[in-house]
Amino acid sequence: MADTAPANAQVPQQQAAQIQPCKYKTGKTLGAGSYSVVKECVHIDTGRYYAAKVINKRLMAGREHMVRNEIAVLKKVSMGHRNILTLVDYFETMNNLYLVTDLALGGELFDRICRKGSYYETDAADLVRATLSAVAYLHDHGIVHRDLKPENLLFRTPEDNADLLIADFGLSRIMDEEQFHVLTTTCGTPGYMAPEIFKKTGHGKPVDIWAIGVITYFLLCGYTPFDRDSNLEEMQAILVADYSFTPLEYWRGVSNSAREFIKRCLTIIPSERMTSHEALSHPWIADTPVKEGEDLLPTVKKNFNARRTLHAAIDTIRAINQLRAGGGAAMIHDGASARDPAKIVENSRPVDEDVMELDSRGNGRGQTEEMIREQERRIRETQAGLWGQRR
C-alpha cells in the first residue's frame, strides 16, 4: 500500500509509504474482521499496553482507501472526546498496516450489560446519552460514523463507571462542509442501516441517528426492531419502518418517553429525524431520574441469549443442509473438517432449504425456553443422524 504515513504526518494520496520496523510486541487476539485482526500489544520502549489493528496488506489490495479514511477520521477526532477511541499511533511494516489505539479493557456493550446484577431504563438512557454525545462531536466535525452498532461500543475499563467508547471508524467519512455532503455508498450492518442507504439517494448524518434508534430499541428489549428471516426482508421492513413495541410483555415496563425517543430516531424521512443535539435535548436523554421501575435485565438477557442461540442454530442447520445436499465433499477438499459444520466453505453447493426447516429469525423475538430447547434437540438429533450416516 503506497498511500500511507506515520501518525504525526499528513496522509497525502500520492505520498510514498514510509516503511519502518515494528516498535510494538503483539499479544493475544482481541477480535478479527474480514481483512484485519485486533491484538493486544505493548510498546517495546515504554512498556505501555494498547490495542493494535493489524491489517494485512495482501488482503487489503484494492481497498486501501478504507484504511486511509479510517486514519484520517481517527486523527481528526482523537483525544477530542472522552467517548471516542483514541488513535495513539499509525505506521506500516513490510507486510502489515498498524493502527494503534487505546486498549478498551471493559469489553463490549451487551456483554457488560448481561454481566450486571440489575439493569434499568435509566441505565439504557445513560448509555445512549454517552453514545449521542460522541456522535454529536463527530457530526460537529463533519464526520458520519455509518456503522454504529453495539459491537462497536466498548468500555474503557472494567469499572462500573468506565467510559463508553465508540470504536471502529472503518466506514466513516469526513464530509466537506463546503460541498453537497451526501454519501451514496451502500455500507454498514443491515439491521442498523437507515432507509436512505438502501435507496442510494445519498445519505449523511441522519443515518447515525437512525442507528441510535435501533440501538436504543435493542438496549430496552434484547432484540432489534427489524429482525427478519433474511437480509432482503429486513431491508424491506427498514424501508417502511415496519416495527412495533411487541410482544407487549417485554415492553410493559418501558416508558412512553423511551418509545417516543425511538420513534423520533426511526423516522423514514431523514430531514424529519432528530439531529444529534436535538436527541441530546430529548426528555428521555436530558432528564436523569433515579433508578426506578422494572428491572429490565431478565427480559433483555433472555431475549439476547435466545436470539444468539437461534442465529447459531440457523447457521448450524444451514451447514448441515449443505452437507446433506452434497457440500461435505467440498468441505473435505478445502481442508475443513467434515465433522465441523461451522467450517463450511462459502463456495459449497446452494443450501437445500427443504431438507430441514427451523424457526426463522423473525420468530426469534422473545422465544420461550421450551422453544429454544426444542430447537437444540432437533439440531442434536440431526447432527447425530448425519454423522451416523457418514461413518
pLDDT tens-digit readout, 64-117: 777 777 787 878 887 889 999 888 888 878 888 888 988 888 888 888 888 888
Average pLDDT of the chain, as a whole number: 75
Q: Decide if pLDDT at 218 tops 90.
A: yes
Residue 352 in this model has a pLDDT that exceeds 50: no
Give the per-residue pLDDT at 292: 64
Mean pLDDT of 256-282: 96
Give whole-number Cα distances, 64 to 14, 207, 349, in Å: 13, 24, 32
The partner residues of 31 in beta bridges, in order of sequence, read 38
Confidence of residue 14 (pLDDT cuts 50, 70, 90): very low
Angle at the Cα of 268 from the Cα atoms of 264 and 273, rounded to 5 degrees? 40
Q: Is the pLDDT of residue 333 over 50?
A: no
Q: Which of 112-121, 177-186, 294-303, 349-358 is least confident?
A: 349-358
Look at residue 327 and tell me whether its pLDDT is greater than 70.
Answer: no
pLDDT given for residue 340 in this prediction: 38
| Pairwise pLDDT comparison (339 vs 28), residue with the higher score | 28
- Across residues 37-47, what is the average pLDDT? 91
DSSP summary character for residue 50:
E
Question: What per-residue confidence (pLDDT) applies to 330?
Answer: 41
Burial 28-50 (b: 16+ CB within 10 A, else e): eebeeeebbbbbbbbeeeeeeeb
The residues assigned a catalytic role are: 147
- pLDDT given for residue 83 in this prediction: 92
Which residue would you say has higher pLDDT here, 173 or 199? 199
- Provide DSSP, 119-145: --HHHHHHHHHHHHHHHHHHHHTTEE-
pLDDT at position 313: 67
What residue ranges do the domains of the chain occupy? 24-101, 107-295, 303-390
Determine the Cα–Cα distance for residues 197 and 175; give it in Å rounded to an integer.
Answer: 16
pLDDT exceeds 60 at position 188 = no
Reported confidence tier of residue 179, pLDDT bands at 50, 70, 90? very low
- Name beta bridge partners: 174: 143
**pLDDT at residue 36, as a whole number:** 78
Predicted pLDDT of residue 22: 67
Of 95-99, 198-202, 207-211, 307-311, the one with minimum mean pLDDT is 307-311
Q: Is the pLDDT of residue 138 over 80?
A: yes
Give tens-digit pLDDT for 361-376. Answer: 444 444 555 666 666 6
pLDDT band at residue 210 using 50, 70 and 90 as cut-offs: very high
What's the confidence (pLDDT) of residue 38? Answer: 87
Q: What is the CATH number of domain 107-295?
A: 1.10.510.10
Q: Confirm or deny that 53 is annotated as ligand binding.
A: yes
Residue 273 is predicted with a pLDDT of 96
Rounded to a whole number of angstroms, the distance between the first and last alpha carbons of the chain is 48
- Exposure class string for 195-211: b at 16+ Cβ within 10 A, else e: bbbbeeeebbbbbbbbb
Distance CA 11, CA 169 (A): 16
- Check whether 337 has a pLDDT greater than 60: no
Grid cell locating 213: 434508534
Segment 291-313 mean pLDDT: 77
* β-sheet bridge partners, residue 17: none
Q: What is the pLDDT of residue 324?
A: 67
Confidence (pLDDT) at 299? 87
DSSP E strand stretches across the chain: 24-32, 36-43, 49-56, 87-92, 96-101, 107-108, 143-144, 153-155, 164-166, 173-174
pTM > 0.75: yes or no: no
Asked if 216 and 124 count as a contact pair (C-beta separation under 8 A), the reply is yes
On the question of pLDDT at 287 being above 80, the answer is yes
Strand partners, 52: 39, 100
Strand partners, 125: none
Lowest mean pLDDT among 186-195, 221-230, 295-304: 186-195
Q: Identify the pLDDT of residue 129.
A: 96
3-state SS assignment for residue 175: coil
Average pLDDT over residues 335-346: 34
When mean pLDDT is compared across 29-33, 190-194, 242-246, the lowest value belongs to 29-33
With respect to CATH, is domain 24-101 assigned 3.30.200.20? Answer: yes
